[in-house]
Amino acid sequence: MSANPAYNLSDPGTDPFAVAEAAAAVIRERTEGAPHTVALVLGSGWGQTGDLIGETMVRIDNTDVPGFGAAAVAGHSGVMRSVAIGDSGRRALVYGTRTHFYEGRGVRAVVHGVRTAAALGCTTIVITNGCGGLRPEWAPGTPVLIRDHINLTAHSPIEGANFVDLTDVYSPRLRALAREVDPDLDEGVYVQFRGPHYETPAEVRMAAILGGDLVGMSTTLEAIAARQSGLEVLGISLVTNPAAGISATPLNHEEVLDAGRAAAERSSRLLAAVVSRL
């Protein structure tokens, strides 16, 4: 189905919102019209959240859904799941993987999951990531609420003269709700770099001067698209490493993955508790 040329997001003649509608139609059919109220994009370290929210009712291969490619990174799941939110009768759509801007497949592919969630009828999107931390007190494994962002990709998911307000991208209401679940949660400003390389120490110092607290390679483009579609956004980062130059040792992808795994349970529990209260 995703091979249908009408659903090719990289063709400028394609309407990305029409592809999102087609994707939502497939998900609706596979889930027999179940009411999805929230979608979650699970980044590094957040993978257990789906199981903690509730029972997985339906699994759908990304390749069966218009506009979704197969997983680009080995070990990332190319499957989306419809998960029961406890026994509320509501469902969460849980994406096991995301398209990163650095993959070069275009911004439309990066935000397609967000637009599909909106087309499906979700009113909230939870965007998570693993990232580098600029505050030395954030040990690897610390979850941090995203208060605001700085988009250093020099791109936007919005096409044409469409001036979307970004005053409160990361919902103050949802941040307050998360802090009810965990009053110790810190907040920070997330800076998206293009990647896929990590920053130099000078770039990390720049991010700090600009007002950043967290550095990563995702999230901001997705959050902008979410606001365009009217979704309420909750953003949470898992600090998996001190950003380059913040600690004395160089970054190592294996260490980053280990820290994510070690912290996964606490952060995933926290997020599942927040979703149950949405």
Min dist CB 243 to ligand 8IG, Å, is: 5
Of 162 and 249, CB closest to ligand 8IG: 249
Is residue 193 a contact point for ligand 8IG (CB under 6 A)? yes
Pairing of strands 186-192, 142-151: parallel
Catalytic site residue from 187, 199, 222, 265: 199
Is residue 229 a contact point for ligand 8IG (CB under 6 A)? no
Compute the radius of gyration of the chain from its Cα atoms.
Answer: 18
For residues 91 and 54, what is the distance between their CA atoms, to the nearest angstrom? 9
Of 142 and 228, CB closest to ligand 8IG: 142
For residues 8 and 220, what is the distance between their CA atoms, to the nearest angstrom? 23
Is residue 199 a contact point for ligand 8IG (CB under 6 A)? yes
Of 20 and 256, CB closest to ligand 8IG: 256
Tokens of 196: 């896929």
Among 40, 93, 131, 224, binds ligand 8IG (CB under 6 A): 131
Is residue 132 a contact point for ligand 8IG (CB under 6 A)? yes
Is residue 146 a contact point for ligand 8IG (CB under 6 A)? no
72-79's contacts with Cβ under 8 Å and 24+ in sequence apart are 72/97, 72/99, 72/100, 72/103, 73/97, 77/47
Neighbours of 64 (CB within 10 A): 15
Min dist CB 42 to ligand 8IG, Å, is: 13
Interface pattern 33-52 for ligand 8IG (x via CB under 6 A): -----------x--------
Min dist CB 255 to ligand 8IG, Å, is: 10
Question: Which string of b and e fits 31-58 if b means at least 16 CB within 10 Å?
Answer: beebebbbbbbbbbbbbbbbebbbeeeb
Is residue 219 a contact point for ligand 8IG (CB under 6 A)? no
User: What phi and psi values does residue 38 have, to the nearest 5 degrees?
Assistant: -145, 145
Is residue 212 a contact point for ligand 8IG (CB under 6 A)? no
Query: Residues 26, 60: contact at Cβ < 8 Å?
Result: yes
**What is the number of the residue whose Cβ is closest to ligand 8IG?**
132
199 belongs to the catalytic site: yes
Give the residue numbers annotated as catalytic, written as ranges: 199
